[in-house]
Structure 1
Amino acid sequence: MGFRVPSIVPAKKLLRRSFSNNSNKEASMAVDVPKGHFAVYVGENEKKRFVVPVSFLSQPLFQELLIQAEEEYGYDHPMGGLTIPCTQHVFVDVISNLNAS
């Protein structure tokens, strides 16, 4: 009696396949994030999606936003991704300051 070992699926295909189960829109959104970046959703009522560099995660100013997100949402984010609870204007100011430094 034998058993079959499944072939190894490249991570990119596996990721695409898992997102395609949700919807094509979500799959295309996941694919358009460049390497070294991640997507966040920002806004009070209407959420806007921003793609930011991973290097921001080590910046104290950005870490403050992450602490606010943790206090507001915990690990249950309404958009399914990282949601930052501030206005888009404040977020753009923070990102501008981080880009300038």
Structure 2
Amino acid sequence: MGFHLPGVKKTSKSGEVPKGYLAIYVGEEMKRFVIPISHLNQPSFQVLLSEAEEEFGHDHPMGALTIPCREDIFLKVISSKEC
């Protein structure tokens, strides 16, 4: 079951990212999300990007953008009305 966030895509293959979307790994378990690139401009998402830059610089261990925050916080940010 679960819930669906508008704009967040689930992909069957780890390399599959639709045009206009970005793969991001989040949390301790490195759960993979595919989100619209429009989220990158949102102020709350910019905070997460700054945290990622501080922790990883430009070297992301999963080969894609890695956000060092809890999954529930990430979900709250991408589901907010500003995104």
| Equivalences for residues 1-101 of structure 1 within 5 A | 28-30=13-15, 32-44=16-28, 46-97=29-80, 100-101=81-82
TM-score by length of 1: 0.65
Q: RMSD value over aligned CA atoms? A: 1.1
Aligned length in residues = 70
Please list every run of at least 4 consecutive aligned residues from structure 1 whose deviation after the TM superposition is greater than 2 angstroms: none
Structure number, greater radius of gyration: 1
Matched-pair identity in %: 60
In structure 1, distance between residues paired with 2:37 and 2:51: 18
CA distance in 1, matches of 2:19, 2:59: 25
Alignment partner of 1:57: what SS?
Answer: helix
User: How high is the TM-score relative to the length of structure 2?
Assistant: 0.78
**Using the alignment, how far apart are the partners of 2:78 and 2:39 within structure 1?**
9
- Say which structure, 1 or 2, has more relative contact order (CA 8 Å, 6+ apart): 2
Task: Write 1 or 2 for the structure with the bigger share of helix.
Answer: 1
Query: Unaligned regions of 5+ residues in structure 2, if any?
Result: 1-12
Q: Which amino acid counterpart does residue 24 of structure 2 have in structure 1?
A: V
